[in-house]
């Protein structure tokens, strides 16, 4: 598409954008089209809820480098939080606002199309594979909302879907039009072998919004706290406990998380560190100085310390403003108490 919004119709210069997640389906779509001679630019979207949220992009980027495909990383940030908080088209089975999410991605892709003079979009979506966003009606709705109607070519299900601009213009070879549908993966795995694709490390489930436990923590965050990118990052580490409307405790699960929580505590959190035994670091937000609440936090920390069954545990409470004090957990929290407060 050029800057006037018109498709580039010179066959020798046809360029397309492929929305590339790193999953098997988008990898097959990319390989099919690349091998048919269309000039490609891959777009990899990184949301605050990607599981592999590395600063240099996820494993998808490694794959693109290996495939020698030009690519562009697009980071979704605050505007993405807005759609997660209040999606126009609602949530899937967890906190995944898939329709709004796809609309946002296609809108961003359309802007890139205009920038680089691409004529159409390609995705690895398979008809019927996902209940919320990969049905025929939803494909149409998403394209309409994003104003890319007729421009999205989905090679894996192309024979089952209405013709798109790329097919009408004859830019594609027949062998890139497939008829896959549903959730069965075996045809894709077979095709991957035929196309020489052996490594697809981030196949699906790369989005934390589809995770039931993460969604529970996210709902709790939206209800009780500021919904910011920093707070979302915190949801990815530790065990989370909601002790009252204001007070939340996060307990580290390993050394890496403990070190991270110690760093975070420098900013605005109180933290708890076991004194003479091995155990987790915990951070708390919303403490108000009440002794009972300090004791409750300490008893939860004690529950995860290496201790003899009956031993009391001393835990240091550090506060960046008020300094430190040592509190003794007479009795570590019971399983019942843990379950009562766990988010």
Q: Rounded to the nearest whole angstrom, what is the least distance from the CB of residue 272 to ligand SF4 in the complex? A: 34
Residue ranges with strand state E in 114-243: 120-122, 152-153, 239-242
**Please, which residues have CB within 8 angstroms of residue 111's CB and are 6 or more apart in sequence?**
none
User: Residues 41-60 vs ligand SF4: string with x where CB under 6 A?
Assistant: --------------------
Q: Rounded to the nearest whole angstrom, what is the least distance from the CB of residue 48 to ligand SF4 in the complex? A: 11
Specify the residue, 98 or 152, whose C-beta has the smaller distance to ligand SF4.
98
- The number of beta carbons lying within 10 Å of the beta carbon of residue 66 is 9
Query: How many residues in the shown chain lie near ligand SF4 by CB under 6 A?
Result: 9
Q: What does the CA dihedral 255, 256, 260, 265 come to, rounded to 10 degrees?
A: -10
Q: Are strands 270-274 and 323-329 parallel, antiparallel or unpaired?
A: unpaired
* Residue 207 in contact with ligand SF4, rule: CB under 6 A: yes
d(CA 223, CA 245): 9
Token pair recorded at residue 130: 């996902």
* Nearest Cα residue to 232 out of 84, 54, 40: 84
Specify the residue, 117 or 131, whose C-beta has the smaller distance to ligand SF4.
131
d(CA 13, CA 318): 63
Q: Are 248 and 242 in contact (CB under 8 A)?
A: yes
Q: Rounded to the nearest whole angstrom, what is the least distance from the CB of residue 201 to ligand SF4 in the complex? A: 17
Using alpha carbons only, give the angle 217, 288, 258 rounded to the nearest 5 degrees: 50
Q: Rounded to the nearest whole angstrom, what is the least distance from the CB of residue 256 to ligand SF4 in the complex? A: 25
d(CA 235, CA 233): 5
Specify the residue, 34 or 102, whose C-beta has the smaller distance to ligand SF4.
102
* Residue 38 in contact with ligand SF4, rule: CB under 6 A: no
Q: Rounded to the nearest whole angstrom, what is the least distance from the CB of residue 301 to ligand SF4 in the complex? A: 33
Token pair recorded at residue 68: 């020698």
* Nearest Cα residue to 272 out of 246, 248, 244: 248
Q: Are 287 and 295 in contact (CB under 8 A)?
A: no
Task: Please identify, among the stretches 106-114, 173-181, 203-211, 275-283, the one whose residues bind ligand SF4 according to the rule CB under 6 A.
Answer: 203-211
Specify the residue, 92 or 238, whose C-beta has the smaller distance to ligand SF4.
92
User: Residues 111-150 vs ligand SF4: string with x where CB under 6 A?
Assistant: ----------------------x-----------------
Figure out which of the listed residues 138, 181, 210, 258 binds ligand SF4, where binding follows CB under 6 A. Answer: 210
Q: Give, as ranges, the residues between 63 and 102 that touch ligand SF4 (CB under 6 A).
A: 96-98, 101-102
* Residue 218 in contact with ligand SF4, rule: CB under 6 A: no
Task: Please identify, among the stretches 180-188, 204-212, 232-240, 274-282, the one whose residues bind ligand SF4 according to the rule CB under 6 A.
Answer: 204-212
d(CA 83, CA 77): 11
Task: Please identify, among the stretches 32-40, 205-213, 238-246, 315-323, the one whose residues bind ligand SF4 according to the rule CB under 6 A.
Answer: 205-213
Give the footprint of ligand SF4 on this chain (CB under 6 A). 96-98, 101-102, 133, 207, 209-210
């Amino acid at each position: 598409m050029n800057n006037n919004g018109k498709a580039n119709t010179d066959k020798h210069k046809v360029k397309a954008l492929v929305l590339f997640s790193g999953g098997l389906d988008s990898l097959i779509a990319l390989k099919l089209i690349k091998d048919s001679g269309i000039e490609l630019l891959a777009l990899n979207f990184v949301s605050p809820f990607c599981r592999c949220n590395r600063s240099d992009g996820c494993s998808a980027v490694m794959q693109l480098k290996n495939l020698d495909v030009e690519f562009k990383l697009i980071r979704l940030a605050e505007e993405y939080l807005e759609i997660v908080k209040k999606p126009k088209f609602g949530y899937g089975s967890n906190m995944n606002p898939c329709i709004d999410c796809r609309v946002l991605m296609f809108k961003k892709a359309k802007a890139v199309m205009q920038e680089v003079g691409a004529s159409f979009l390609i995705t690895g979506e398979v008809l019927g594979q996902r209940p919320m966003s990969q049905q025929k009606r939803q494909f149409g709705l998403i394209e309409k909302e994003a104003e890319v109607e007729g421009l999205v070519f989905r090679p894996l299900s192309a024979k089952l879907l209405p013709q798109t601009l790329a097919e009408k213009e004859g830019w594609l070879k027949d062998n890139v039009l497939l008829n896959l549908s549903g959730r069965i993966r075996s045809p894709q795995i077979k095709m991957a072998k035929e196309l020489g694709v052996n490594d697809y490390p981030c196949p699906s489930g790369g989005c934390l919004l589809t995770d039931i436990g993460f969604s529970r923590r996210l709902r709790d965050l939206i209800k009780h706290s500021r919904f910011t990118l920093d707070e979302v990052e915190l949801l990815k580490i530790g065990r989370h406990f909601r002790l009252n409307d204001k007070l939340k405790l996060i307990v580290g699960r390993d050394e890496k998380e403990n070190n991270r929580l110690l760093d975070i505590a420098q900013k605005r959190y109180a933290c708890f560190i076991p004194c003479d035994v091995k155990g987790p670091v915990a951070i708390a937000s919303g403490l108000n100085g009440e002794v009972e609440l300090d004791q409750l936090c300490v008893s939860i920390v004690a529950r995860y310390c290496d201790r003899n069954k009956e031993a009391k545990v001393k835990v240091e409470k550090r506060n960046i403003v008020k300094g430190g004090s040592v509190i003794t957990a007479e009795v570590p929290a019971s399983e019942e108490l843990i379950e009562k407060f766990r988010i």
